[in-house]
Structure 1
Amino acid sequence: MKFAAFSGVLIDHSIQEAMQLTKKLGLDGIEIAGREPHLSPSTSGPRVKEMKAVADSLGLAIPVIASYTGGFATSSDKECGQTFDDFQRMLHHAGELGASKLRVSPGGPNAFLAQPHHFAKAAYWIDRCAAEAKAQQIDIIMEIHNGSLVETVESSLHLLSMLKHDNVGMIHDAGNMYITDTDYGRDSVYQLGKSLFHVHVKDELRIEKAGAPGSFVDLTHRGEEHFLQSRMGEGGADHQPLFDALRETNYPGWITLECHAPFPAYERLEHDYKQVKKLLGRS
């Protein structure tokens, strides 16, 4: 297993500074957030080449580009075409940066509210993305995320079953799955099987009322619930069963640290990396 920082945690820094901080943490790579000031569909070629040069000089891999393209399920055909154009530009960036995976969102609504036509439309466009990516030997990854068609393992596997291409898989995110109130432990890893392409880790905590820094409101099958972004071990998500399963299955991929708790960015990443190493019995 290799470890990356999510550059979105370091979004207040330039991408060059984010890479330097990632190297200082001792991580193996950086997952670049597909939004400015780090990377976007409109980022110029010279800027992309500069990012690659900085990463190479630091010995950092760029395994994933976390684009924010997608949202197909509830978009108009015109909007889907426009975001597909953005996807193609991000795919080109991914190739230039040496990333093997590109995140794309199928869109919402929550899986428990979705109708068959939502899945059908998302599948059509995700398949188009997959065909383009396959030509460049890049995988498409969808993040298991509350508020989307793929907010549980079951709904993720349902969408995957509708696709023609096999270069599409899932990002396991225990924090997101804790919010959804679905299984994110050992069974989720085994159920995903070969469809588990990437892992995000962060902690969240159910609270009575949002309002404090780092808190937010989200819709789940229980209705509107309130949450607090937390550092690993300080929230409500027990990551130990997940990491035990990753070890049992000899998971060969990347784990990205994605903590958004209300602490200085470097401090929360450093804290979470220490916690992850404890969960893996490396400290």
Structure 2
Amino acid sequence: MRFSVFTASTPEWTPEQAAGILAEQGWDGIEWRITDQQDAAEPGFWAGNRATWPLTGLEDRLDDIARITRESGLAFSGIGGYARCDQHEDVERMLAATARLGAGQVRVTMPRTDTGDYRALFAAARADIAWAAERAAAHGVKALVELHHETITPSASAAFRLLDGLDPEHVGVIHDLGNLVIEGREETLASLQLLGPYLAHVHVKNAAWVPGDPEEDGTVRWHHEWAPLRTGAGDVDAYFRALHAFGYDGWVTCEDFSTDVPLRERTRDDLAYLRAVAARTATTAAA
């Protein structure tokens, strides 16, 4: 396995800082966040993120992205795109950029379930992702669908249904431990087996369900929060045992959105922890 970081989770660093620090810490790769975002007084994961490249004018920045990545010695684990599957012009641009960078694969986002009737959203997305697969083939890259809560593909079963019959050389799935804590979790090994050749990429973060304050009648409503890798509800060891048992040996991209520990310390510790987990669970799987 090779380990990278998605720069959505490094909002305080410029691209040069992100690449340099991650390389110095020993990460193998980087997954750049590319999207037009809102400004913010302070850098945040989703707004004002300094390690994000804007979609507007992207083509003029590709040489800089390639140079910064190359000079750091990091590899591309993929591109963290935000173009939705029905935004064909932007999807085409992201596929072309991925090909030009030699990044191999790029995320194409799915519709949220609160934007329409599920059956209608799913049918339209199937047509869109079939088109994206054809365009990805033309560019020699792969379009990725992430297992993501509150979208039409929160689970492996939903993603498999969406992609079934399309060419797995040019369309695949990002399996995501943390997102599945929130919605869509199925027994991990079974879900990997279901995806089969469509399993293209893995994201690792963690989350926890926490209770709110009791209401007047005693009702307690729970909500999810991002958590450190060690303490969230997702069992990282069990996750890696399943990956080993399935035979997955590709990229594992960390996107730790917890804030308990300062960013530089957090990324350093995440790498040490992931490598330790991967090593001990590989030994267990082999036994």
Matched AA of 1:32: W
CA-based RMSD of the aligned residues comes to 2.3
Deviating beyond 6 angstroms after TM superposition, the runs of 4 or more aligned structure 1 residues are: none
1:94 aligns to what? 98
- Shift of the 248–27 alpha-carbon distance from structure 1 to 2, 3 Å rule, reads same
Residue 165 of structure 2 corresponds to residue 151 of structure 1:
no
8 Å contact kept, 1:16–1:51: no
Matched AA of 1:107: P
SS at match of 1:95: helix
SS at match of 1:200: strand
Shift of 1:157: 1.0
2:107 aligns to what? 103
2:7 aligns to what? 7
SS at match of 1:135: helix
Shift of 1:229: 0.9
2:228 aligns to what? 231
Specify which of 270, 274, 277 is matched with residue 272 of structure 2: 274
SS at match of 1:5: strand
Residue 245 of structure 2 corresponds to residue 241 of structure 1:
no
Tell me the TM-score normalized by structure 2.
0.83
Tell me the TM-score normalized by structure 1.
0.84
1:57 aligns to what? 71
CA deviations 1:142-176 (Å, max 9, x no partner) are 11011011101111111112x54432111010110
Residue 138 of structure 2 corresponds to residue 135 of structure 1:
yes
1:265 aligns to what? 263
- Shift of the 278–164 alpha-carbon distance from structure 1 to 2, 3 Å rule, reads closer
Q: Separation in 1 of the partners of 2:209 and 2:90?
A: 35
SS at match of 1:186: helix
Identity of aligned residues (%): 26
Shift of 1:183: 2.0
Structure 2: gaps of 5 or more residues: 37-49, 214-220, 282-287
Matched AA of 1:17: Q
2:118 aligns to what? 115
Q: Separation in 1 of the partners of 2:184 and 2:136?
A: 32
- Shift of the 282–96 alpha-carbon distance from structure 1 to 2, 3 Å rule, reads farther
8 Å contact kept, 1:69–1:87: yes
Matched AA of 1:250: G
- Count of aligned residue pairs for this structure pair: 258
Q: Separation in 2 of the partners of 1:11 and 1:116?
A: 36
